[in-house]
Amino acid sequence: MSTKSTLKEDHKSETEKRSEEELLEEEIRNQQTIDNFVESDKNWS
């Protein structure tokens, strides 16, 4: 029984870690999009 709960906790921890990485990647993509927009806007000015 205790082994089962440990596996669950490990899985939860892995899921949280993956989510943090995904959030970081999304943040980087968002920043790149903003940078592209700003650069594009400069070109139009």
End-to-end CA distance of the chain: 66
pLDDT in tens, 20-34: 999 999 999 999 999
* In the chain, where the domains are located: 1-45
Task: Decide: helix, strand or coil at residue 45.
Answer: coil
Residue 5's pLDDT band (cuts 50, 70, 90): low
Query: pLDDT value at position 3?
Result: 59
Residue 6's pLDDT band (cuts 50, 70, 90): low
Does the pTM surpass 0.75? The reply is: no
CA dihedral 29, 33, 38, 43 (to 10 degrees): 130
Query: pLDDT value at position 23?
Result: 94
Query: pLDDT value at position 22?
Result: 95
CA distance linking residue 37 with residue 26, whole number of Å: 16
